[in-house]
Structure 1
Amino acid sequence: MADLDRVTVVLDALAESRHGLTITELSARTGLPRSTVHRVLQTLERVLYVVRSPDPGQAGYQLGPGLLKFGMNTHLRLLAANRPDLVALAREVRERVELAIFSGREVVVVDQIASPARLRGVTQVGRSFSLHASCIGKALLARLPEHRVRELLPPRLARFTEATVTDRAVLLAELDHVRESGIALDREEHDAGISAVATSFVGPTGALQAIAVVMPSQVFTRKLPDAVRGLRSLNPAVQPGGFGS
């Protein structure tokens, strides 16, 4: 494994953790020897890409402020490149439109255009969703090979509503359909009363992203064809009529 690959897997492990990780924990998560992890951390610590946890009760390392310059620049480029398309889609379908990307083992909403008809949305920018219980998560997962999907999914899929798919085999079969149709559905799988449809593609900045049209469940069936047509204007891989009933 090249030095850059070692750095990447260590940073990925820290990004996916909700707390600081010790050298032993990082070694276990990455499969790298403790000596290699220690050497990588020393290099990253010198440029503040990682820092030691400031919490006295939590030993270990976490991502540092040195990464902010990359994250902020990438975030601004992502928003600027996609904002015109999001605005146009929201106006066309008159429902909320969201932009999302992978964030470790979750998916996070990074931008949102409120519905012109409803004026305000219920999702906060920065809110994260489980990959299996959202159309944005499923749309992104469907772009990955199955072995990577299995790595990202937890052993037990959490239930958020009565409609949440918690059977891994059922979810994997659904992802096959998403790959064929180019779109993923969420019929109240994460939030009661809210349904959505999403597609994913490599966006103008070169990043894999998902765009979703989100609306109240009572209008979802009626407005789904319009939403799919709007998404197809952004992603030609979307198959019209491939969303089922």
Structure 2
Amino acid sequence: MSVLHRATLILDALAESRRPLTVSELATRTGLARSSAHRVLQSLEEERLVVRSPETVGYVLGPGLLKFGMGSHLRLLAANRSHLAVLAREVNENVDLAVFSGREVVVVDQIASPARLRGVTKVGQSFSLHGSCIGKALLAQLPDARVRELLEGPLRAFTPATITDVDRLVAQVDEVRRTGVAVDREEHDRGIAAVATAYLGPTGALQAVSVVMASHLLAEKWDLAVGSLARLPGATVDVAAARAQRALAGAR
């Protein structure tokens, strides 16, 4: 295993953790020997890619990563902006662009329709993987074993419609793989629905794009939203299969 691979394992583990991790915890999570994990951490710390937590024992991601993240973020936005704008005009609803952020998904860009919802989502806002269509769309790009790993632990119910049973979620993710479309019908916020798809974007990043609307408009806008998402470069939406999923989602 190369030094770069070991460093990547460490950084991924820290990114997915909700708290600082000790050397022993990182060794356990990555499968590295404790001595190897410690050597990699020392090198990463020298470059400020990781830092010791000021609040408790353990390591967290460091400011040295910003120089990589900022450039990548700007390329991601530039590569997708025009496509998001076209989609927003077609559906006349808010359109969000999102990517993985550890065990969550974060909105990195948005085209807001002037006549539609305001304040439901915003750039920089994080959502759970299980309680959002952008999260489930991204999970559908991963193998089941990884999906179950990311869904470990108690899952929060944001509304009565939130699915918190892992087996049900895995089955739903499998359906998303078949159709290319994920649905959120008031699973995160009452009165709000969304339809999303995920794919490898023009920068090589795994990304999700969603159309967000008032839930009472889901039936009316379903075909338009799905058809517009299907036209995104790189998207693999099975429009015919998604029509059947519409009924399963309750969009009648």
Residues 109-150 of structure 1: CA deviation (Å, up to 9, x unaligned): 111110132273421211111111110011011111111111
Cα distance between partner residues in 1 of 2:31 and 2:148? 17
> Relative to structure 2, which stretch is displaced further, 122-131 or 90-99?
122-131
Task: Give the conservation status (yes or no) of the 8 Å contact 1:91–1:116.
Answer: no
Aligned to 2:4: 4
List aligned pairs for 1:145-160, cutoff 5 A. 145-160=143-158
Cα distance between partner residues in 2 of 1:13 and 1:64? 13
Aligned to 2:250: none
Using the TM superposition, give the Cα deviation of residue 25 of structure 1 relative to its aligned residue in structure 2, in angstroms.
1.9
> Relative to structure 2, which stretch is displaced further, 181-190 or 235-244?
235-244
Q: Secondary structure at 1:133's aligned position in 2?
A: coil
Identity between Structure 1 and Structure 2 (%):
64
TM-score scaled to structure 2, two decimals? 0.92
Cα distance between partner residues in 2 of 1:64 and 1:155? 26
Aligned to 2:94: 96
Using the TM superposition, give the Cα deviation of residue 170 of structure 1 relative to its aligned residue in structure 2, in angstroms.
1.4
Task: Give the conservation status (yes or no) of the 8 Å contact 2:117–2:214.
Answer: no
Cα distance between partner residues in 1 of 2:20 and 2:119? 33
Q: Secondary structure at 2:183's aligned position in 1?
A: strand
Cα distance between partner residues in 1 of 2:147 and 2:170? 9
Task: Give the conservation status (yes or no) of the 8 Å contact 2:93–2:117.
Answer: no
Letter aligned with residue 8 of structure 1:
T
Using the TM superposition, give the Cα deviation of residue 81 of structure 1 relative to its aligned residue in structure 2, in angstroms.
0.6
Aligned to 1:46: 46
Cα distance between partner residues in 1 of 2:114 and 2:79? 21
Task: Give the conservation status (yes or no) of the 8 Å contact 1:114–1:120.
Answer: yes
Aligned to 2:18: 18
Cα distance between partner residues in 1 of 2:121 and 2:62? 28
Letter aligned with residue 203 of structure 1:
G
* Structure 1 unaligned blocks of 5 or more: none
Aligned to 1:244: 246
Letter aligned with residue 42 of structure 1:
Q
List aligned pairs for 1:21-40, cutoff 5 A. 21-40=21-40
List aligned pairs for 1:79-158, cutoff 5 A. 79-118=77-116, 120-158=118-156
Aligned to 1:67: 65
Using the TM superposition, give the Cα deviation of residue 236 of structure 1 relative to its aligned residue in structure 2, in angstroms.
4.9
* Structure 2 unaligned blocks of 5 or more: 248-252
Task: Give the conservation status (yes or no) of the 8 Å contact 2:17–2:103.
Answer: no
Letter aligned with residue 79 of structure 1:
L
TM-score scaled to structure 1, two decimals? 0.95
Task: Give the conservation status (yes or no) of the 8 Å contact 2:94–2:112.
Answer: yes
Q: Secondary structure at 1:230's aligned position in 2?
A: helix
Using the TM superposition, give the Cα deviation of residue 91 of structure 1 relative to its aligned residue in structure 2, in angstroms.
0.9
> Relative to structure 2, which stretch is displaced further, 90-99 or 173-182?
173-182
Using the TM superposition, give the Cα deviation of residue 156 of structure 1 relative to its aligned residue in structure 2, in angstroms.
2.9
Using the TM superposition, give the Cα deviation of residue 62 of structure 1 relative to its aligned residue in structure 2, in angstroms.
1.4
Task: Give the conservation status (yes or no) of the 8 Å contact 2:198–2:235.
Answer: no
Using the TM superposition, give the Cα deviation of residue 196 of structure 1 relative to its aligned residue in structure 2, in angstroms.
0.2
Cα distance between partner residues in 1 of 2:157 and 2:176? 21
Cα distance between partner residues in 2 of 1:203 and 1:77? 11
Aligned to 2:227: 229
Letter aligned with residue 238 of structure 1:
V
Task: Give the conservation status (yes or no) of the 8 Å contact 2:195–2:225.
Answer: yes
